[in-house]
Amino acid sequence: MRMLVNVSCPIEPFNTMVKNGTAGEVIGRVVDEIKPESIYFTEQEGNRGVVMVVDVPDASHIPSIAEPWFLNFEAICEFRIAMTMEDLMKSNLAEQSQKWSEVHMN
């Protein structure tokens, strides 16, 4: 299943890694290991951030994506299921609409 992963790295230990020259090497190793479909480096709530799209065969693979960020950067990782347009079209929204349109809220 395709997931959107948001990573937020606190200022430390990242600043120390930038200053001692190891940040780029470690990020490269992490990205090589995870092999995201796409990856973007950005800011998240004032911290360094990463947004990745990854293919996760099943939930047991989530630690192999999160742990490198946790252990190396003390990062916060958030995982969200992501659908393509094709995935959405397979969901048969019309059927869901019929099934649930009879439910009334009081």
Supply the pLDDT for residue 66.
98
User: What secondary structure letter does DSSP report for 59?
Assistant: G
* Total-model pTM: 0.84
**How wide is the angle at C-alpha 82 spanned by C-alphas 88 and 70, nearest 5°?**
170
What is the per-residue pLDDT for 18? 97
Q: What is the dihedral of CA 25, 45, 76, 84, to 10 degrees?
A: -90
Name the residue with tokens 């950005």.
Answer: 42
State residue 97's pLDDT score: 85
pLDDT digits (tens, 9 = 90+) for 25-50: 999 999 999 999 999 999 999 999 99
Ranges in the chain, pLDDT < 50:
none
CB proximity list for 102: less than 8 A, separation 6 or greater: none
Confidence at residue 105, expressed as pLDDT on a 0 to 100 scale? 64
How many other CB atoms are found less than 10 A from the CB of residue 59?
9
Burial of 73 from C-beta contacts in 10 A (0-12 / 13-18 / 19+):
buried
